[in-house]
């Protein structure tokens, strides 16, 4: 399970999941595609998608209670994010054209990227670099990354 018993993460998963209990609208599709695409990019950032990262991602899909179509969309987005030619900047721009910096959706995506990076209890150089890019791109202050990593890693 993605939350690993963490009540805060379970709450994030439920909050996101409550959005997807019915047919997806365009905003929900953008959110799923961006969330899981960026998670795929994060998982690939250190060169290999670990078993812990795969478990985290599948657990998040479960916690979000994604229906069949939404789960398929999420899996396709994750696979796309794992490819070398994945357009991270384009995905961020599409996301930010739908959800404002500072919105709860952006915060949840950012939190899940950090938790995925920490899933194997090690932040590698490529993961750190990816997170730094996401921190600035999603509108967070640079020190926010260290604050959240400290919280997740301890």
Residue 39: count of CB within 10 angstroms of its CB:
26
Nearest Cα neighbor of 18 from 69, 67, 75, 76 is 67
pTM of the complete model: 0.84
Tell me the chain's radius of gyration from C-alpha atoms: 14
Domain boundaries, the chain: 7-153
Q: Looking at residue 10, what is its pLDDT?
A: 57
Contact status, residue 136 vs residue 96, Cβ threshold 8 Å: no
Phi-psi group of 65: left, alpha or beta (phi > 0 → left; psi -120 to 50 → alpha; rest → beta) = left
Start-to-end CA distance of the chain, whole Å, equals: 19
pLDDT per residue rounded down to tens, the chain (154 residues): 454 555 555 555 555 554 544 578 899 999 999 999 999 999 999 888 889 999 999 999 999 989 888 999 999 999 999 999 999 999 999 999 999 999 999 999 999 999 999 998 899 999 999 999 999 999 999 999 999 999 998 7
Contact status, residue 97 vs residue 37, Cβ threshold 8 Å: no
Q: Looking at residue 46, what is its pLDDT?
A: 87
Query: Is residue 6 helix, strand or coil?
Result: coil
What fold is seen in the domain 7-153?
TerB-like (1.10.3680)
């Amino acid at each position: 399970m993605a939350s690993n018993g963490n009540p805060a993460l379970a709450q994030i998963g439920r909050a996101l999941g409550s959005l997807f209990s019915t047919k997806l609208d365009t905003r929900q599709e953008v959110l799923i595609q961006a969330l899981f695409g960026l998670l795929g990019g994060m998982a690939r950032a250190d060169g290999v998608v670990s078993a812990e990262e795969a478990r985290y991602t599948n657990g998040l899909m479960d916690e979000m209670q994604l229906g069949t179509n939404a789960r398929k969309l999420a899996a396709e987005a994750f696979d796309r994010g794992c490819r070398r030619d994945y357009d991270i900047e384009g995905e961020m721009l599409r996301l930010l054209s739908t959800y404002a910096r500072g919105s709860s959706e952006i915060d949840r995506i950012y939190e899940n990227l950090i938790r995925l990076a920490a899933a194997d209890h090690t932040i590698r150089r490529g993961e750190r670099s990816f997170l730094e890019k996401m921190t600035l791109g999603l509108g967070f202050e640079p020190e926010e990354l260290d604050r959240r990593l400290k919280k997740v890693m301890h």
